[in-house]
Amino acid sequence: METIRKIHLIAIGASTGGTEAIYQILRRLPSTLPGIVIVQHIPPGFSARFAERLNAQTDINTKEAQTGDVIKDGHAYVAPGDQHIVVVPFGDQLRIACTKDERVNGHRPSVDVLFHAVAEFVGSMAIGVILTGMGADGARGLLSLRQKGAYTIGQDESSSVVYGMPRAAFDMGAVQIQRPLLSIPSEIQSIVSLSSR
């Protein structure tokens, strides 16, 4: 029987079509979940407005991430445009660090950068979600999450605006659970509920 493990973090990555996809997920999630860290390929300036929209239109307290933010339950943190975002341990907490390191897969922020950090520091106590987007950013990071025992979810082709990133992850064996967009929130809640028993 699989060992039950408490979920401490949900990491989401998306690109083309992702702002709407992320909104559709967050608006269906309760504020009782673990912290959510989001990478959406988005230009500087737009990331703050995107975070404000999510904060206003969902039950999740959402902000544009800043270095030093402590990740709290019921809160979501959106990577700033043109900055990578990682999570780092700080005592028994997780904190966010934003960097201007080189682009990865042509992107900054990069989903792979976030997912690799989550795999390293949170491992099996994380859920990784890869959503609609062009290219393959996030696929290798999601695979590293799955290899560390994390739950990994990929959006299916029929509900993706562009089935590039989820396909790359699926083809690589990184996706444990594939679901239509609107089924992903209940999947996340089921995993968290199971892990809380």
Catalytic residues: 15, 41, 137
φ and ψ at residue 21, rounded to 5 degrees: -65, -45
The span from the CA of 37 to the CA of 47, in Å, is 13
CA distance between the termini of the chain: 15
Q: Is residue 51 classed as helix, strand or coil in its secondary structure? A: helix
Whether the Cβ atoms of residue 127 and residue 11 lie closer than 8 Å to each other: yes
The pairing of strands 93-99 and 84-90 is antiparallel
In this structure, is the dihedral angle defined by the CA atoms of residues 196, 173, 16 and 39, taken in order, positive or negative? positive
